[in-house]
Amino acid sequence: MKDRIFQIMKQEGLNQKEFAATTGISPATLSSIFNGRTSPTLNHAEALHRRFPKLNMSWLMFGEGDMYIKPQDLTAQGGVNQEDDAFASSFSVDGGGDDAQSGSSGLNFDVNGGTPRIPIVREVVKFVDKPQRKITEIRIFFDDGTFETFPGK
């Protein structure tokens, strides 16, 4: 995947610093990815897709197909026009529902194309049993072995 990310950068005519700025991926992370010290994550793929919406996610993730989605491929996905997000149109953010389109598997099927839509579930956990912490004291240590103490509010 790192080679495909590098290929996107070159295709767009950007250097590493510009590419980092446009995608929101830090320059240090990009360097680590290109040097093989770090593997790209799904968050990196999503950042690339947000910046380059016509990017074929199957190509990016698995090396399958062309780098960019062609307009005729978008139309074949059930009437999606060129302005729509091709990756997001493959998925539905719903729970499957009880409508006639849903099967017992929990998948939502697109009426136009008959392709299964996988529900995306995001769980948010809030820790409410811990009281909010407050700063009671700040200490600054100096190189001569002294320190200063500042009381919190």
Q: Each residue of 2-18: pLDDT tens digit?
A: 888 888 889 889 898 89
The DSSP code for 20 is H
- Report the pLDDT value the prediction gives residue 111, as an integer from 0 to 100: 54
Which residue in the block uniquely carries the two structure tokens 């820790």? 127
User: In this structure, what CATH number is given to the domain that contains residue 31?
Assistant: 1.10.260.40
Residue 119 has pLDDT above 80, yes or no: no
**Residue 78 within a domain:** yes
What is the average per-residue pLDDT within 123-128?
67
In whole angstroms, give the CA distance from residue 84 to residue 20. 25
Q: How far is CA 22 from CA 9, 15, 61, 150, in A?
A: 10, 11, 20, 41
Q: CA 75, 81, 86, 91 torsion: positive or negative? A: negative
In a domain, 133, yes or no: no
Q: Is residue 145 part of a domain?
A: no
Please list, in sequence order, all residues whose beta carbon lies within 8 angstroms of the beta carbon of residue 122, skipping any fewer than 6 positions away: none
pLDDT for position 90: 45
pLDDT at 54 over 70: yes
Residue 103 included in any domain: no
Task: Label residue 85 by pLDDT band (50, 70, 90).
Answer: very low
Q: Could you list the residue range(s) of the whole structural domain that residue 33 is in?
A: 2-90
Close Cβ partners of 30 (under 8 Å, ≥ 6 residues apart): 5, 16, 19, 20
Residue 82 has pLDDT above 80, yes or no: no
Domains of the chain: total = 1
* Cα gap 12→17, rounded to integer Å: 13
**Mean pLDDT rounded to a whole number for the chain:** 74
Question: What phi and psi, each to the nearest 5 degrees, are found at residue 109?
Answer: -100, 135
Residue 12 lies in a domain: yes
Q: How far apart are CA 25 and CA 114, in angstroms?
A: 36
In a domain, residue 61? The reply is yes
Mean pLDDT of 37-43: 88
Is the pLDDT reported for residue 126 higher than 60? Answer: yes
pLDDT band at 121 (very low <50, low <70, confident <90, very high): confident
Residue 95, domain member (yes or no):
no
